[in-house]
Structure 1
Amino acid sequence: MKNKKKLLDDIRKLKFATVDLNLYLDNFPDNQKALCAYNDYTNQLILLKKEYEKRYGILTNFGTSASDYPWSFINEPWPWESGE
């Protein structure tokens, strides 16, 4: 099981990779190898975000993450503010 900091670092790395591949695929949409990598990283990212949110709370707002009751997006510290 990953600790909070390691999990956030892994999420950031995968998010960077997916954004980078997204931009690449905008220019080279027929690159099947890049598309496979994009889909693989996206699936890994989804799983890591679910794991993080289950253990530590919501990462993002505006329809990308559901909230437990009561509304939990205001809980502190925010992921980027934690000292871990």
Structure 2
Amino acid sequence: MFNQLSKYQTPKLYFTPAMQRARRPFAVKNAITGLLLFGFCGAILIIIIKVSYSIMAVKQDDFDDVPMPSPPSTANSEEKLTNDRK
């Protein structure tokens, strides 16, 4: 099956003139589709690279320069809960 020659190919596996004529109307559409797919995949790759770089940059930061608020005390939170219920 795979070793049989097609009637559209020469013994050296080149396309015959009939096959070239049959494919000619689709050449521009196929080229445009290929460029669009290549561009889309390239854009996705760039997005993945940017996101992974951002994640790696945040992992390296220790956030020492960011002030942390003091944790809420339990007495104040209990008073707020009882006042809210009234």
Higher-Rg structure is 2
TM-score (norm 1): 0.31
TM-score (norm 2): 0.30
Of the two structures, which has the highest relative contact order with CA contacts closer than 8 Å and spacing of 6 or more? Answer: 1
Which of the two has greater helix per residue? Answer: 2
